[in-house]
Amino acid sequence: MKTSVPTAHRPDDAGLAALDEEPHRRRNALTGEWVLVSAGRTKRPWLGAEEPEPPEELPAHDPDCYLCPGNTRVTGDVNPSYAATFVFTNDFAALQPGTSDARVGEGLFRAEGTRGTCRVVCFSPRHDLTLAGMDADGIRRVIDVWAEQTAELGDRFRWVQVFENRGAAMGASNPHPHGQIWSGDALPVEASLELAEQRRHHEETGRNLLAEYAAAERGGPRVIRDADGWLTLVPFWASWPFETMLVPLDPAARLAALSDARRDGLAGALRDLNRRYDALFRKPFPFSMGWHQAPFGPGDDDGTWQLHAHFYPPLLRASVRKFMVGYELLSEPQRDLTPEEAAERLRDVSPA
């Protein structure tokens, strides 16, 4: 039953600033989970591990790279001499289409087979060209491929996860700029939580959770960029130091639903954010990013899901990463600077 719950409003900035002086917790509206905010811990001495400096320059083509055009991969397959975005099935896929769907066990001991497939998306034939260095047209081609792949895989699988691991610090096994698309017949944990919270909010209020949240954040201290129909912001509940989220200001469940104009706007938003990240510490910025789109199961696309992208960068300082260990693994995520401070620092750097 729909209730007369008022439209969401940002918390009073002055009151929140006072709270930021002390440890406090914030609720993640998308998952229902909580994060501990402990402002000021960035000042503590650090004698732990430091991230190595990335290579200063990469060649435009690396004859030893298994993702570059014309090169031979480990399996013996030869890449075509591709001139734009290139997609192929992962040679070491974590999901397979022919897996048994058998379910075994009961009670505390249950297991089930799961089907799927994994693909690799090379953004460009250039070995040295990240999304930050690509022009808007090049990024637009990547967006179109993401949308096409999502629509195709969604015909067979319930969940399609488009993502990029950028940099060795985030587990990228090859420096050639690329992303991946994993699709499977099961709904993963994060997707299940987000689907449940968005449905609950819609049932209680009659409104779209993320659309309402984005509207409430506009003009506020966590917004980095508001242009061309896209909002780039540090979420109120962000866990990682410089975590961000991209949200369209108009309703859209999946990338394939975006008009040409909104895809062009997204290309500009992605270029801007990638360049801001690189400018923050004057070095290529590692992160994991991914798109959360409406699932493809029966009844999943019920109008409650809003398309959005998460960016999870690990760096806390130029050479120091945030480790999710100890308390974070055993209790709940904890962050060392406020989302408002992170957003301010990202706003202050030039994406040029």
The set of catalytic residues is 178
Return the bridge partners of 27, or none: 34
Q: Nearest 5°: phi and psi at 248? A: -75, 145
Which is it for strands 223-227 and 230-233: parallel, antiparallel or unpaired? antiparallel
Q: Return the axis-axis angle of helices 339-348 and 13-20, rounded to nearest 10°.
A: 110
Distance CA 196, CA 184 (A): 19
Distance CA 75, CA 83 (A): 22
By the 8 A CB rule, do 239 and 272 touch? no
Helix (H, G, I), strand (E, B) or coil at 12: coil
Q: Return the axis-axis angle of helices 189-205 and 209-217, rounded to nearest 10°.
A: 80
Distance CA 190, CA 195 (A): 9
Report residue 245 as tokens: 């989220």
Smallest Cα–Cα separation from 161: which of 179, 138, 173, 134?
179
CA angle in degrees (0–180, nearest 5) for 169-171-173: 120
Is 350 buried (19+), middle (13-18) or exposed (0-12) by CB count in 10 A?
exposed
